[in-house]
Amino acid sequence: MHDDRSLVEARLRRVLDERIRPAVYPESVPLDVAVWHAPGEPVPVAEGLAAEPEPIAVGARWGAPWGTSWFRVTGTVPEEWAGRTVEALLDLGFDENMPGFQCEGLVYRPDGTPVKGLNPRNQWVRVGAPVAGGEEVRLHVEAASNPVILDYHPFRPTWLGDKDTAGHEPQYTLTRMDLAVFDETVWQLVTDLEVLGELMAELPADGARRYEILRAVERALDAVDLQDVNGTAERARSCLAGVLAVPAAPSAHRISAVGHAHIDSAWLWPLRETVRKVARTTANMTALIEEEPEFVFAMSQAQQWAWVKEHRPEVWARVKKAVAEGRFVPAGGMWVESDTNMPGSEAMARQFVHGKRFFLDEFGIENDEAWLPDTFGFAAGLPQIIRAAGSTRLLTQKISWSRTNKFPHHTFQWEGIDGTRIFTHFPPVDTYNCSMKGSELAHAARNFKDKGRARHSLAPTGWGDGGGGTTREMVAKAARLRSLEGSPTVVWETPADFFAKAEAEYPDPPVWVGELYLELHRATLTSQAKTKQGNRRSEHLLREAELWAATAAVRAGFAYPYEELDRIWKTVLLHQFHDILPGSSIAWVHREARATYQRIAAELDGIIDAAQRASAGEGDRPLLFNAAPHGRSGVPAGGAGPEQPTGEVTVSDRPDGGHVLANGILRVEIDARGLVVSVYDLDADRETVAPGTAANLLQLHPDFPNQWDAWDVDAFYRNAVTDLTDTDELTAGEDGRSVRVVRSFGSSRVTQVLSLPPGERRLLIDTEADWHETEKFLKLAFPLDLHAERYASETQFGHFHRPTHTNTSWEAAKFEACNHRFVQLEEPGWGVAVVNDSTYGHDVTRSVRTDGDRGTTTTVRVSLLRAPRFPDPETDQGIHRFRHALVPGAGIADAVREGWRINLPERRILGARDVAPLVTVDDDAVVVTAVKLADDGSGDVVVRFHEAHGGRARATLTAGFEVADVTVTDLLERPSGAPAPDRAGDAVSLRLRPFELVTLRFRRA
């Protein structure tokens, strides 16, 4: 037989596009359209409905960037359509290739009842099925003219990312506003042909099944009268029934489809627009649930559920009904799908506390999985946080984006720093926006790395990023794929049902230990420095506010600010979303974030000040409040008292130019270039800076990645570097303990103050950068005379090690990584830490000196600033302030202590009395991360702590109040089931494993 596959396949494509798809709507009449453009930000629904619109015609331009237009469409169903299905087709000017990334709408009835959302892949509104004829149609569309930021030529700078710079030119052309007859038979034929055509393309060219489908498709196309598609569609469908009825092979891969609409809580749109995106999507999904009995939809991010409840109560009522039916499923148990690399320990814990508590309070539902399909890698501390929140599973997809190494598993146990393991699935479909295409499903089956041991995978199905969700077309495809020879089987299931099957069939999956590093988007650890600083500062202010408010509540009857702290925590958690904290959103998002962090800081400072004054009383004694988990300046952790003097610092001139700082512990030489050429540890009789090098070296790289500008830094950035050694000013500080260095380069200026605090083993470096570069990357380098094959990097509730070498491609790919407050390197008996108050990105490299002592130079470089132009063309322009410290002779214990110290500066007030700590621990390895009152308002004191040094710890934790009872709890402050610790009066005895996380709840007597 002659091979005519290409002929038939080409025929199928043309006939579908030009004849059959247009016949889905064989008759139509235009609707009358009028529009009212809201003058500013979106208005309440009642105001939009009541506004008086003006006529507008199809073909007219509309929609200034970020505007809102209210369309009113009216018409009458023709009498001759009686008995038929009629839909309104409302095309606002959509590009079908951009669902979620351009204009959208929410349709309302005249009484304000929401009907469904409109987007490029969902343009219809059902009027009647069947209609009687003569019905009056009146619909209102709240249309958002969101500009296209990520266009067909992506990553080009655009000013559309902020309403203040986007202009006012209309962006869209009103394309179609019709009433139309919907021919379901033709629509079903389209779906039949799409499913078979897509399946056929994935089957072996020499396989019988492919030819069986080919011949059936050919017969169907022969059966269609191209001049009467509607009259012959049923006949064509009958030609396909046989091949559609052949069941899947018993060995077929099994896909659990979960309705999904990944909605970025902010990205190429501001937070306020996400509120509306969620409303549109949930309106669509609840409507689809009512129409499709097998369909199940899952939505994560408790914040987005809360937005629906607050802003769209009518949609919320439909959501609650669907949740009660088990069809609309809360997923993930987090407040938002946050970044997991940068949030601190408590913040990561509170993501689960607030997320899970919302779903419990609203629905009595506690889901067992963390749901993070799009997050840019996963910190090694996350597994025990998931477990401590009462969950045991994780779903992610983003690791498939890694560019260097292919991750070896799709279903596995992920082991964190403390040994906790979480059952993890990484869908082999390689998208969280599956649309039920044959190519997607075939890829999932081929790609699945656990074949032979497991056969289930999950497919998040629906348009996402900008929302939209699952469509009726996807549901119709899934129905045909339930059991179809040549295809994986597809069934709609909840995440819980999928995980139960996956765990049952694969009880001993492989184990992956340590971080799930994404070999892409590494620059998200640095972009938008002020957003990152706002997050770090807010996290530590919240710690202080809870600590001092709890202390004052127990000791002085202070009114604990439950509601204020709850609201502020949720705001901070929202801004940890994986396109806000990573710096990958438009300018509008980060402009608002900066203002939000300023408001939060002012409010928390007010709470802290009031609580400290309540505890200390009115008086004139100078008191130092120490919120860090370690004592300092003679003041215990979590207490307040008089500051103890700690020694002196001298500044002298260096013979060859520059200055020498000394405090009896360290001697620091700063040369005439303002560079640190020596940091001598007097106790250890050892030099810190590698021979022939200089520390505190600012280095400037070109930074123009191949794509994803705000997200990526590519390895080739290292090929060119400029050391910034020219000095404008070099002077000794007036305080007698510091040196000031000023440098200019390009259009920028950096001022640094280097200081030695008295009695302390740390060189402080305060950097102010007036940054006006473009597509540049600024690093701060510390070349160390240290031989280390690995280094420690702080993460949530502990630290983990990365290699300093590049033996394998896995190690070489980690050329930019995340730390929290410190990185630390050591040889046996002596180490060095670099601590920071607000930076995350860094790199560590090593080289062997070829002359002199032939020793090893290990260089730690802190990432300070970038200047990408997409999606925010003015990223990081302006003034920034950073604080770092170089700590010679630092072991892990020192790194932990100094990391906390630099992030929690002392507070000094006048008061009447010392303040004793609310809790004390007698072992510095046990670090208290939270002291607070229980969220339920009982007055119980909750204390969270962990072993921070990576070893075993035996300690006594003593409460500074009378204790009636103590309970081990989960993160949500519920009894965990673990035995109560041994207690003697107000003290409990602790035995902790390495990095073990514990929460205790103390009931006060």
Q: In this structure, what token pair is assigned to residue 555? A: 């000791």
Q: Are the C-beta atoms of residues 841 and 817 closer than 8 Å to each other?
A: yes
| Neighbouring residues of 145: CB distance < 8 A, sequence distance ≥ 6 | 62, 63, 64, 65, 66, 67, 68, 69, 103, 170, 171, 172
Residue 807 CB burial class (10 angstroms; 0-12, 13-18, ≥19): exposed
In angstroms, the first-to-last Cα distance of the chain is 91
Please report where in the chains the tokens 């974030």 appear, as a residue.
593
Pairwise CA distance, residues 504 & 777, whole Å: 48
Pairwise CA distance, residues 341 & 352, whole Å: 15
Tell me the residue length of the chain.
1005
**Residues linked to residue 108 through DSSP beta bridges, in sequence order:** 114, 140
Please report where in the chains the tokens 């790289």 appear, as a residue.
701
Based on its alpha-carbon atoms, the radius of gyration of the chain, rounded to whole angstroms, reads: 31
Instruction: Tell whether the torsion through CA atoms of 377, 393, 288 and 318 is positive or negative.
Output: negative
| Neighbouring residues of 528: CB distance < 8 A, sequence distance ≥ 6 | 582, 583, 585, 590, 710, 872, 875, 876
| Neighbouring residues of 345: CB distance < 8 A, sequence distance ≥ 6 | 381, 796, 797, 929, 946
Q: In this structure, what token pair is assigned to residue 608? A: 């802290």
Active site annotation includes 712: no
Task: Collapse the DSSP code of 679 into the 3-class scheme (helix H, G, I; strand E, B; otherwise coil) and give the result.
Answer: strand
Q: Which H helix or E strand runs over 701?
A: strand 697-702
Please work out, in degrees rounded to the nearest 5, the angle formed at the alpha carbon of residue 240 by the alpha carbons of 236 and 244. Answer: 150
**Residues linked to residue 1000 through DSSP beta bridges, in sequence order:** 943, 968
Phi, then psi, of 789 in degrees rounded to 5:
-85, -10
Residue 250 CB burial class (10 angstroms; 0-12, 13-18, ≥19): exposed
Which of 467, 253, 499 lies closest to 395, judged by CA? Answer: 499
Instruction: Tell whether the torsion through CA atoms of 817, 820, 822 and 825 is positive or negative.
Output: negative
Q: In this structure, what token pair is assigned to residue 630? A: 């370690």
Q: In this structure, what token pair is assigned to residue 136? A: 């009056």
Q: In this structure, what token pair is assigned to residue 82? A: 């009686």
Active-site option among 162, 178, 339, 374: 374
Task: Collapse the DSSP code of 173 into the 3-class scheme (helix H, G, I; strand E, B; otherwise coil) and give the result.
Answer: strand
Q: In this structure, what token pair is assigned to residue 695? A: 């520390």
Is the N-terminal amide bond of 65 cis, ω within 30° of 0? no
Task: Collapse the DSSP code of 652 into the 3-class scheme (helix H, G, I; strand E, B; otherwise coil) and give the result.
Answer: strand
Amino acid identity, position 317 = A
Beta strand 953-959 with 987-992 is antiparallel
Q: In this structure, what token pair is assigned to residue 587? A: 């300018």
Please report where in the chains the tokens 């309106």 appear, as a residue.
283
Pairwise CA distance, residues 732 & 659, whole Å: 7
Please report where in the chains the tokens 């470096």 appear, as a residue.
765
Please report where in the chains the tokens 């303040």 appear, as a residue.
915
The 8-class DSSP code of residue 401 comes to G
Pairwise CA distance, residues 695 & 685, whole Å: 19
Q: Which H helix or E strand runs over 765?
A: strand 763-771
Q: In what order do the strands lie in the sheet with 28-30?
A: 28-30, 176-181, 86-91, 124-128
Which of 525, 553, 588, 569 lies closest to 840, judged by CA? Answer: 525
Instruction: Tell whether the torsion through CA atoms of 957, 554, 348 and 601 is positive or negative.
Output: negative
Show which residues are catalytic: 374
